[in-house]
Amino acid sequence: MAYADQRVNPYSLRLRVGAVIIGLATGPFRVQTPSWPEDTKRRIDLAERWCESAASPAVHKKTLIPVSSPIHKPGAE
């Protein structure tokens, strides 16, 4: 169990994380990166995984935060 799951309601936290990611999903379009459609789709998929994980607290963290995702690379956007 993650540390945050011990301090806050995991269902609520995961839904909120999904909502934040959705809010960031338009970033690639706004800055007109060449691959903005794919980058936006990846962010939407990530948000969906976070929201789906709210129903199942036993989710491995690597399925929620892919380290190869451009939204997690320093200087990306």
The alpha-carbon radius of gyration of the chain (Å, integer) is 13
Domain assignment of residue 58, given as a range: 3-72
More confident residue, 59 or 7: 7
* Residue 77 is assigned to a structural domain of this protein: no
- Read off the pLDDT band of 2 (50, 70, 90): low
Domain count for the chain, please give it.
Answer: 1
Give 33-72 pLDDT, tens digit per residue: 999 999 999 999 999 999 988 877 565 555 565 544 444 4
Q: CA 46 to CA 18: how far, in whole Å?
A: 8
How many Cβ atoms from other residues are within 10 Å of residue 29's Cβ? 12
Query: Would 23 be classed as within a structural domain?
Result: yes
Establish if 60 belongs to a structural domain.
yes
Question: pLDDT value at position 1?
Answer: 54
What pLDDT, on the 0 to 100 scale, is given for residue 12?
87
pLDDT of res. 8: 79
Residues 22/47, Cβ–Cβ less than 8 Å: yes
pTM: 0.65
- 7-17 burial code (b ≥16 CB/10 A, e <16): eeebeebbbeb
